[in-house]
């Protein structure tokens, strides 16, 4: 048996843990699209924050010169400007369970039993069975304003290289 309070707390903790894992995965986007800049010489490692620089590729972009000749420009394109970003979150969690309830010491206790599953009990009564189902609904999360501004800044730099 488990107390109802402990059961609800365990489910809530599991959902929070799942949400934290998704948040960590979203933050790992920084590692995917940025790399840590080397530390300047002579600076104590503990005194400075990490500086990230965008991972980029060089693409050749056709450009019409003032004389009418088409030239290829080399353009540094941050990878983060080339992909749609998709962040996730747990939107809803549903739990369905069948159980026996009992009050023990003024506390609701739940009993999940699967004993004698599939057979009949005393006096041909069906035994109580336990089953559960959890459904997590993942949905896209709105990209934060800071992330949108960061990407927009890199896109502006890219536009200036091309124009």
Domain extent at residue 39: 2-162
CB 28 within 8 A of CB 75: no
Mean per-residue pLDDT of the chain: 77
Q: Comparing 35-39, 62-66, 140-144, which segment has the lowest mean pLDDT?
A: 140-144
How many domains does the chain fold into?
Answer: 1
Per-residue CA distances from 127 to 75, 113, 121, 123 (Å): 71, 9, 5, 10
Question: In the predicted model, what is the mean pLDDT of residues 38-52?
Answer: 71
Predicted confidence band of residue 55 (pLDDT cuts 50, 70, 90): very high
Burial 11-35 (b: 16+ CB within 10 A, else e): eeeebeeeeeebeeebeeeeeebbe
Q: Which residue, among 60, 83, 82, has the nearest Cα to 73 in the 3D structure?
A: 60
Digit-coded pLDDT (tens) for 76-117: 899 988 888 777 777 777 777 777 777 888 887 877 765 545
Q: What is the largest CA-CA distance in the chain?
A: 99
Q: What is the percent of the chain where pLDDT is above 90?
A: 6
- pLDDT for 57 equals 93
């Amino acid at each position: 048996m488990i107390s109802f309070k402990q059961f609800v707390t365990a489910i809530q903790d599991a959902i929070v843990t799942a949400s934290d894992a998704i948040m960590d995965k979203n933050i790992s986007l920084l590692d995917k699209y940025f790399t840590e800049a080397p530390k300047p010489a002579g600076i104590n490692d503990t005194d400075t924050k990490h500086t990230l620089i965008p991972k980029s590729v060089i693409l050749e972009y056709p450009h019409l010169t003032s004389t009418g000749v088409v030239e290829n420009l080399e353009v540094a394109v941050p990878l983060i400007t080339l992909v749609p970003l998709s962040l996730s979150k747990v939107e809803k969690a549903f739990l369905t369970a069948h159980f026996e309830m009992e009050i023990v010491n003024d506390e609701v206790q739940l009993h999940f039993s699967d004993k004698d599953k599939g057979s009949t009990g005393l006096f041909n009564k069906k035994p109580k069975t336990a089953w559960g189902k959890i459904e997590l609904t993942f949905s896209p999360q709105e990209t934060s304003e800071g992330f949108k501004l960061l990407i927009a800044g890199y896109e502006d730099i890219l536009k200036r290289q091309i124009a």
